[in-house]
Structure 1
């Protein structure tokens, strides 16, 4: 199912992220830390450890960036999110089986539960003007628009998108209001690499120059 809006051109990506108080460089730094964490998986660890490491360090890296901007840790419904009281949105780090594919919606590696489904449904209120003033006035986290930062890692094929789902059905996302492409197919190999053996940096910045 095609998203209502796909933001894939570089100039559109920068402008849209700026509206959300974000930048591509910040989000790409999160991807770097998630990739490095997954690469630290060793054979003797549980089979799901690679994904767990990516999720743990990806979530932490995202919060390092967002909390410095005034965002808040939010765990409403046991969902590990980060909430912006200014814009009324939340972001969740999510390992995915694909990203930045116009013909295919990203799918969570692990099925989503009832709490995530409820949170996504409540977040649709932000699309309607009659609810906007009320929700912003109350800063009701449970009604925040719930965005997911989908990261796909398969060896050297790494992609990422920041997207706003419409619904969750049978444990998976069903349609998207908007998808913003952050790392598109083939771009990862062109980006500056960091030392995977270095500990995550608190103030980590990457200057990105995309292919023309």
Structure 2
């Protein structure tokens, strides 16, 4: 089994090349991030405390599907992990609000714990000695998350999910540092950002 060694793509040329190999595009991923940021800003003090994160999550998932579904990409919600899947390339993309993105020395923390479906999809349940060894993804499909923090920084990352958290990323693709970087994203000045919340879908 191969040792885990996180591969980080930072330079735009490398990012664009890697994304093209995955059947994705930086522009479309950032368009999905922009939708999530905009919808998060619709939360007001009169909304429930988790509204900002809920809005961002729900519309982030919608935006990923809106940008990519068609051709090789299909809507997928296996094991309650909402996202899109490419059966040809064996890749799945979901959405997550995180505490901090695009920082080499920090593994992004999801704003809400991930369920057992995400853990199975990341392959974490196959080995007890993680993060020492790289996992095999469930059904051969690699699970990536489009991760977004409160400042709008975003990355597409394949993490190991263990005990509800992101651990030992196998691959990190930096999309934007947030703010008005390269004109990618327009951020709200709303300072009332509540704790993010990603609803979990329980299987019956």
- How many residue pairs get aligned? The number is 176
Q: Is the 8 A contact 1:159 1:188 kept in 2?
A: no
| Structure 1 residue ranges, 4+ long, deviating more than 6 angstroms after superposition | none
Partner in structure 1 of residue 180 of structure 2: 188
**3-state SS in 2 of match to 1:146:** strand
> Which digits, 9 at most, give the CA deviation of each residue in 1:2-45, with x for residues without a partner?
95200001110110011011111111111110010001111211
**Distance 1:124-1:169 versus aligned 2 partners, 3 A rule:** closer
**Distance 1:13-1:43 versus aligned 2 partners, 3 A rule:** same
**Distance 1:5-1:33 versus aligned 2 partners, 3 A rule:** same
Q: Is the 8 A contact 2:30 2:184 kept in 1?
A: no
How far residue 97 of structure 1 moved from its aligned partner, in angstroms, is 0.5
What TM-score, normalized to structure 2? 0.79
Query: What residue ranges of structure 1 are gaps of 5+ in the alignment?
Result: 127-140, 197-212
Q: CA RMSD in A?
A: 2.3
How far residue 194 of structure 1 moved from its aligned partner, in angstroms, is 6.2
**Distance 1:178-1:92 versus aligned 2 partners, 3 A rule:** same
Distance in 1, matches of 2:96 and 2:5, equals 18
**Distance 1:151-1:21 versus aligned 2 partners, 3 A rule:** same
How far residue 190 of structure 1 moved from its aligned partner, in angstroms, is 4.0
Distance in 2, matches of 1:163 and 1:3, equals 13
Query: What residue ranges of structure 2 are gaps of 5+ in the alignment?
Result: 127-133, 189-204
Partner in structure 1 of residue 129 of structure 2: none
Equivalent position to 2:148, from 130, 139, 151: 151
Equivalent position to 1:173, from 163, 166, 177: 166
User: In the alignment, does 2:57 pair up with 1:55?
Assistant: yes
Partner in structure 2 of residue 125 of structure 1: 136
Name whichever structure is richer in helix by fraction.
Answer: 1
Q: Equivalent residues in 2 for 1:1-212 (5 A)?
A: 4-121=6-123, 124-125=135-136, 142-153=139-150, 157-165=151-159, 167-184=160-177, 188-191=180-183
**3-state SS in 1 of match to 2:153:** strand
Distance in 1, matches of 2:107 and 2:51, equals 25
How far residue 158 of structure 1 moved from its aligned partner, in angstroms, is 1.6
